[in-house]
């Protein structure tokens, strides 16, 4: 396994290990446990890289196969199905499994979101306390950033669903709408398994956090 950084770094001479500071350390000066940790970490990273590549190839294959099915169905009836952003579901003949191709827009917020936040805070301060504690909690959660300093857009969209008859609030929602910007589209492939003979399906997770 290699990357651009590794390719630009000088090779490690035989009998040495490179430490985190980039220094060459003779093997006899490296603790056995440090060597073991290094070995385990490298093995796990390599396996993760292999899995990452396999998942990437699976997604490409799945999207290609689904697109072929859509094209064949369209040609049969002389129509163009799905479109570039069409969501498609294909199922096994017995209905035991289904594969879903779905598209979702990537949404970010411009600097105008700061104006919306200020207007919303003014509304909350102006309203009587107590009755609006739930709204304040919702607003605090909406504008909370993650460890990358980004706002969770789904929480922002939740604010737009609130039906509050207040002119300043409506002005704040207008600023919020103006701050929302579509920056691209993401395509997802999800696999689902049927629960027994019911009409319910559960996803087959393809991410480590789900196990």
The residue to which tokens 């492939």 are assigned: 189
Q: What is the mean pLDDT of the chain?
A: 85
> Tens of pLDDT along 174-203?
999 998 888 888 899 999 999 998 999 999
35: pLDDT confidence band, cut at 50, 70 and 90? very high
d(Cα 21, Cα 150) in Å, to the nearest integer? Answer: 31
- Provide CB contacts within 8 A for 200, sequence distance 6+: 194
Mean pLDDT of 44-69: 94
């Amino acid at each position: 396994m290699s990357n651009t950084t590794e390719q630009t770094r000088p090779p490690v001479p035989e009998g040495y290990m490179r430490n985190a500071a980039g220094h060459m350390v003779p093997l006899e000066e490296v603790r056995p446990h440090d060597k073991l940790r290094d070995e385990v970490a490298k093995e796990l990273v390599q396996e993760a890289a292999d899995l990452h590549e396999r998942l990437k190839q699976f997604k490409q294959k799945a999207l290609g196969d689904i697109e072929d099915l859509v094209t064949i169905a369209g040609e049969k009836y002389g129509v163009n199905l799905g479109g570039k952003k069409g969501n498609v579901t294909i199922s096994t003949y017995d209905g035991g499994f289904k594969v879903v191709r779905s598209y979702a827009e990537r949404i970010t917020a411009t600097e105008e979101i700061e104006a919306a936040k200020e207007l919303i805070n003014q509304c909350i301060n102006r309203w009587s306390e107590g009755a609006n504690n739930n709204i304040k909690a919702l607003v605090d959660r909406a504008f909370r950033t993650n460890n990358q300093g980004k706002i969770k857009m789904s929480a922002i969209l939740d604010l737009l669903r609130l039906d509050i008859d207040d002119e300043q609030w409506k002005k704040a929602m207008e600023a919020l709408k103006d701050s929302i910007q579509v920056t691209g589209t993401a395509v997802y492939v999800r696999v689902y398994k049927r629960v027994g003979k019911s009409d319910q399906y559960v996803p087959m997770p393809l991410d480590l956090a789900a196990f």
